Amino acid sequence: MGRKTGIGRKFDPQGWKSAASLRSGRARFSLRSLLIMELLDSLVDDETLVRQAETAVAAVIASHCELRNTYPDLLATLVVPDTRLTEVARQVPPGASVPLSVITSAGAGGLLALTRHNMASVEIASVEPALRDLDDLASSAARVISAAAGLEPEVAVFIELPYAQGWESAVELIEAAGLAGKIVVAGAEPPQVVEQLSILIEADLPFKISSPLEKDWSALLNTVEALVAGASLEEATEQLRPADHDQVRAAVAGWDPTTQSRVRRRVRRLGTPRVRDVITALTG
């Protein structure tokens, strides 16, 4: 018998693995390009300026614009710290469309300052405040949610959730407010990553995953799909540590539109400074 999950579905481990195998084979024979998949539409955030702060802004923007021209459907935003927002605005070429995601430096206070920024000078698509009061994450989330209400309605909000005691309570508040979460998985062991993903999925909270490291993003997406399908934490951890990475990528390439939509309803963004490498890894 499959395990009953909070999503209201039963997970058949053998059936799920068989389906993954079929999808893998179908992908190999169809030679389908991930570049045309809904799964990757505006999925990747360019975090070069955040993770490699020593890089000149002009060089980052030039590289980002080149990537956006090459992969117009895959890139979501250029992620910038709020402390460099004015500098970035000055470097964006006239007439260029460079949607930005702003990481605020002072939690709720940073969001309040951003609402007073001259938004007309830049194209702010999203903001990424972090919860900073580790002793009371729920109250910190409430303050950030209140401050986010002052933003324009089209600006997406990804609230970074530290892996600390009480973070599940913050998840519930963020979901109730209709916002999105964010987890940073740099250096985290697979069981922790799977636990975080599971809680976000069970709460029905859409989220962004960020990492400065070279990750197997196909395995990460495949793990999300396994959890949505009802996999246990142990089974999902196994998916995050695949023996055959090419097989996993082929399985993801074979996802039908329903599966792609199911995963994208949860995973809204992948953030990385290794944009070109990640795109190559995902698309082959």
Residues 248-271 pLDDT 10s: 999 998 999 999 999 999 999 999
When the pLDDT of each residue in the chain is averaged and rounded to a whole number, the result is 85
Quote the tokens at residue 189.
Answer: 């062991």
pLDDT value at 10 more than 60? no
The tokens for 269 are 């963004």
| Confidence category of residue 214, pLDDT binned at 50, 70, 90 | confident
pTM, entire model: 0.85
DSSP-assigned states of every residue in 79-141: EEEGGGHHHHHHHSPTT----EEEEPSSHHHHHHHHHTS-GGGS-EEEE--B---TT-HHHHH
% of the chain surpassing 90 pLDDT: 63
Which residues on adjacent β-strands are paired with residue 156? 126
User: Where do runs of H (alpha helix) occur along the chain?
Assistant: 13-30, 48-51, 57-70, 85-91, 107-115, 137-148, 167-176, 190-202, 217-228, 233-240, 245-253, 257-264, 275-283
153: enclosing H helix or E strand: none
Instruction: Tell me what the mean pLDDT of segment 147-164 comes to.
Output: 94
Q: 40-54: per-residue pLDDT in tens?
A: 999 999 999 998 888
Question: Half-sphere exposure of 258 toward its Cβ, with a 13 Å CA cutoff?
Answer: 2
CATH of 3-283, picked from 3.10.530.10, 3.40.50.720, 3.20.20.70, 2.40.100.10, is 3.20.20.70
d(CA 6, CA 203): 9
Where are the chain's structural domains? 3-283
Residues β-bridged to residue 100: 78, 124
Residue 219 and residue 116: Cα distance in Å, rounded? Answer: 40
User: CA-CA distance, 127 to 103, in Å (whole number)?
Assistant: 6
